[in-house]
Amino acid sequence: MGHPKGVALHDALSDTFARLRNGQTARRAAVTVPHSRHVLAVLRTLTALGYLSAVRVVPPPSPAAPPHPTLAVDLKYGPGGAPAMVRLARVSKPSRRVYAGGRSLPPAASGLGEWLLSTPQGVMSGTEARRRNVGGEVLGQVF
């Protein structure tokens, strides 16, 4: 997987969300995504919330390979093989940024899901942002 040489990826987070959704639809155990610190922080937050099993950085396979690490994401499934994430959607996009304050953030999916926020204190869940009373960019919604 990956993008052809010379093709820029403009929205790495949307690409990551699509890979996670497609991997779960295909019932894969794991997917790989291009490495970035921001994407890694979002994936670690999803893991801490219990939507993913694990995330690990995979170094380049050989010195001849491009020097870019990838991220291996172990997907999580519930009883009967149901995906842990029913919905994973991007909210803020490069064309339209969405921001919310810590106290003004409503419950996600009627309290069944969680918001993902990028704040000055790092990427965190909506519940954590409310607890710390910190706002930021609403990256996505998961449930």
User: Would you place residue 3 in the very low, low, confident or very high pLDDT band (cuts 50, 70, 90)?
Assistant: low
What's the mean pLDDT when you consider all of the chain? Answer: 91
Q: What does the angle CA 132 – CA 134 – CA 136 come to, to the nearest 5 degrees?
A: 145
- Winning range, highest mean pLDDT, from 62-66, 92-96, 104-108: 92-96
Which tokens go with 6?
Answer: 């010379």
Give the residue extent of every domain in the chain: 12-142
User: Would you place residue 77 in the very low, low, confident or very high pLDDT band (cuts 50, 70, 90)?
Assistant: very high
Report how far apart, in Å, the C-alpha atoms of 80 and of each of 28, 35, 83, 84, 142 are.
Answer: 15, 31, 9, 11, 20
The answer for residues whose C-beta is within 8 angstroms of residue 134's C-beta and 6 or more apart is 102, 119, 120, 121, 124
User: Would you place residue 68 in the very low, low, confident or very high pLDDT band (cuts 50, 70, 90)?
Assistant: confident
Class of domain 12-142: alpha beta
pLDDT for 17-65, tens place per residue?
A: 999 999 999 999 999 999 999 999 999 999 999 999 999 999 887 777 6
27 burial via Cβ count (<10 Å: 0-12, 13-18, 19+): exposed
**93 vs 97: CA distance, rounded Å:** 6
Q: Under a CB-based contact definition with an 8 Å cutoff, are residues 136 and 117 in contact?
A: yes
